[in-house]
Amino acid sequence: MSTVTSPEVSGYLQRVRAALADLPTETREELLEDEPAHLAEVLAESGADLEHRLGPPESYAAELRAAAGLPAATGAARKPATEVMRNLRAYAERADRAGGRLLGYPRVADLFDLLRPGWWVLRGYLVGLLILVAARDEYFARLLPVSMDPEDALIWLLLVGVCVIVSVRLGRATPGLPRWGRFTVHGAGVLIVALALANLAPRAFQYENGGTVYYDPFSGVTDVYPYDVNNNPLDGVRLYDQNGNPIQIGDYDRCHDYTQPMDADMYRYPLCPPVQWQPGGGATEAPSASPGPTATP
């Protein structure tokens, strides 16, 4: 048996040996003959602690027994829940290996180990954006620092960069944390993704214009209700930009009555005349208007 120099490998192997204590010495040592080198290799490849990578030593010892065709440990009868967990772990292990062969890796977990640094970078990036959103400054809360003053873009890059560096350092230190610490980090990662989907997803709906990316603040507008200076509703209003080009905002098909002839001038506002928004109040139902530009009395 080779000499084990890593304290983690030595401690893990000691607990595995204790779980096999009911076996004859010769049988036990035969099972563990190649384990020191194997455990050291797993520790070096994954970067994660052995218990996180292989499971508790007692479960690993049970897998060694099963692989060698030996009976389960003697002594008190196993609790049903423990047996179920052991079976689930075995099924997960087989699925891990089967999926790995499909992807061209020994195990799916091996692919995840390679992708882990990318997740650390993404996690820091998301945290930086969430901080910018929490600052309630729409100018800084952008997916990319485009169309910003150089000083403001530098602030964006510094904040996101610091968050990425902290996230990477935390990711490298996570395997050495106690179990509750690892669970806390993983739970925080799930929370970060949920917050990012809720707060950052709307900012992903952007469009390009002249090579510059803009956020469209009118993407959710379905209708326009114009009022005059005296808060009287207007009907049949047409919108134009500074160059005389018509502005089309909203969803005409949302309220068009297809039993009536198609209106050649679809975008007269409001698109849905029966609904009138009162400034500072809610919506009120108005008498149905006939097709065409009519004034509201």
Structure tokens, 29: 């040592």
> Would the pLDDT of 142 be above 80?
no
Computed over every residue of the chain, the mean pLDDT equals: 76
pLDDT at 76 over 50: no
Answer whether residue 230 shows pLDDT above 80. Answer: yes
Q: Determine the average pLDDT of the residues in 157-167.
A: 93
Residue 145 above 70 pLDDT? yes
More confident residue, 189 or 267: 189
At residue 122, the pLDDT reads 93
Q: What are 175-195's pLDDT values in tens digits?
A: 888 888 888 998 999 998 888
246 falls in which pLDDT band (50, 70, 90)?
confident
Name which of 7-11, 133-137, 149-153 the model is least confident about: 133-137
- Is the pLDDT at 168 greater than 60? The verdict is yes
- Tell how many helices (H) and how many strands (E) occur in the chain: 9, 4
How is residue 266 written in tokens? Answer: 């679809």
Which of 35-39, 230-234, 292-296 bottoms out in mean pLDDT, i.e. has the lowest?
Answer: 292-296
- How confident is the model at residue 264, as a pLDDT? 61
Please tell me the predicted confidence (pLDDT) of residue 226.
Answer: 86
Residue 152 three-state SS: helix
Residue 257 pLDDT level (bands cut at 50, 70, 90): low
| Residue keyed to tokens 């195990």 | 107
Q: To the nearest whole percent, how much of the chain has pLDDT over 90?
A: 10
User: What's the pLDDT tens digit per position in 5-61?
Assistant: 577 788 888 888 888 887 888 888 888 888 888 888 877 776 667 777 777 888 888
- The mean pLDDT of 96-120, rounded to a whole number, is 84
Contact present, 40 and 9 (Cβ < 8 Å)? yes
Distances (CA, A) of 289 to 15, 141, 285: 82, 43, 11
DSSP track, 10-56:
HHHHHHHHHHTTTS-HHHHHHHTTTHHHHHHHHHHHH-S-HHHHH--
Is the pLDDT at 120 greater than 90, yes or no? yes
Q: DSSP label at 250?
A: S
